[in-house]
Amino acid sequence: MRRFRAAASLAGDPRSPHFHFLRHCRSFCRSSSLPEADAAAAAASADGLESQVLVQGSGSSRTAILNRPSVLNAFSTAMGAKLQKLYKNWEDDPDIGFVMMKGSGRAFCAGGDIVSLYHLINRGKIEDCKDFFRTIYSFIYFVGTYLKPHVALLNGITMGGGAGVSIPGTFRVATDKTVFATPETLIGFHPDAGASFYLSHLPGHLGEYLGLTGEKLTGAEMIACSLATHYTLDAKLPLIEEQLGKLVTDDPSVIESMLEKYGDLVCPDKMSVVHKIELVDKCFGHETVEEIIDALESQTAGLKDSWCNSALRRLKEASPLSLKVSLRSVREGRFQTLDQCLAREYRMSLQGISKQISHDFCEGVRARVVDKDLAPKWDPPGLDKVSEDMVDQYFSPLSELEPDLDLPTKVREAFT
């Protein structure tokens, strides 16, 4: 139990601490009137769902492989359900000491399958959308309270839900191929999947900057701000996987020693945002989005800083409603536990897809991913049109009868 507590401590230390514009998406199959065709389609679908998560390993460890490379391993409801089942079985198995997760292809995980969500919403299947968020968020909480060491190999694109299922775990290994971002405001959504928890615990107001602009971080930058715990070159990752596979342990300190032995030291580029924390705080520490933009414009006029220009451009591309909602979400996350953040984000996500306040999520996905015209028509169209009532409603349940996210907090205590 002492080892388990050590793992939980490592996972929960704020100091150690989705979206990706998908270029490919699977089309929805049209139903056939022929029973034979229906049966064949169902069988093919079942096989496809089964292969979305593969399992590797024997002896003291198991590896879950996210296996939807054609969509950058974008998370589906089926993936979340299978991972939950696998992780529960592995946690209960006394012969398994620790668990790993990685992605196939050039991504770890680009986040949730927003294209499928877009189509579900437009077909009126809101309950299926709720099931998606409930399944993924519940699995994230399971990872965050896992009783065995967890190692996530973040090689390639790691965005949104991909960060959500990895950052709450014990160890996160970034590489020179890692690309991290939480660019949900650019599709009319909010940083979710636990993002309001881990972004709020980053140095200074870096979390606000990343959450509002959706700017990317490299693996080296992830290490510098403790989103990742270890770093290695992509070319050395097979060796690290081989060495991890040889370990017979449930002791996180043994795993940590191995990762340190085969890892690499790295420093972010001199132009990195991690070297601009003072400027980040000066601009993104303001109370409102409007004041943040004013501060950036002031800095741009005085310093002609390319970083300020880039941040301003991203903010002006984002949904005004999403910007205000996301700023409040990150700041509330500073004073909440992981489970409280996930429960709040669940309410927010249901509001975001319901179109009761705005249609920005569907409009953002349409503009960025479906039609790709990159010209979303946000509603409200400007920050001055976003009322406090709109923002307050975004944080409220859909209705008085709408159940909140039910997490097993009495049997699996969340960390702060």
Residues acting as catalytic residues: 112, 161, 184, 192
- Whether the CB-CB separation of 64 and 100 falls below 8 Å is answered with yes
* Element containing residue 107 per DSSP (H, E): strand 107-109
Taking CA atoms, 129 is separated from 66, 116, 192, 313, in Å, by 21, 9, 14, 31
DSSP assignment string, 262-324: H-------TTSGGG-HHHHHHHHTSSSHHHHHHHHHHHHHHH--HHHHHHHHHHHHS-HHHHH
- Whether the CB-CB separation of 340 and 383 falls below 8 Å is answered with no
Q: Is cis: bond before 252, omega within 30 of 0?
A: no
Tokens (6 digits) for 200: 């709020």
Amino acid letter for position 98: F
Alpha-carbon span 50 to 243, nearest angstrom = 28
DSSP assignment string, 213-248: H---EEHHHHHHTTS-SEEE-GGGHHHHHHHHHH--
Tokens (6 digits) for 321: 């409603």
Taking CA atoms, 7 is separated from 97, 248, 250, in Å, by 12, 16, 9
* Beta partners for residue 232, in sequence order: 175
What is the residue whose two structure tokens read 């992981």? 338
| Torsion angles phi and psi, residue 112, rounded to 5 | -75, 155
Report the C-alpha dihedral over residues 354, 358, 361, 364, rounded to 10 degrees. Answer: 160
Burial 12-22 (b: 16+ CB within 10 A, else e): beeebbbbbbb
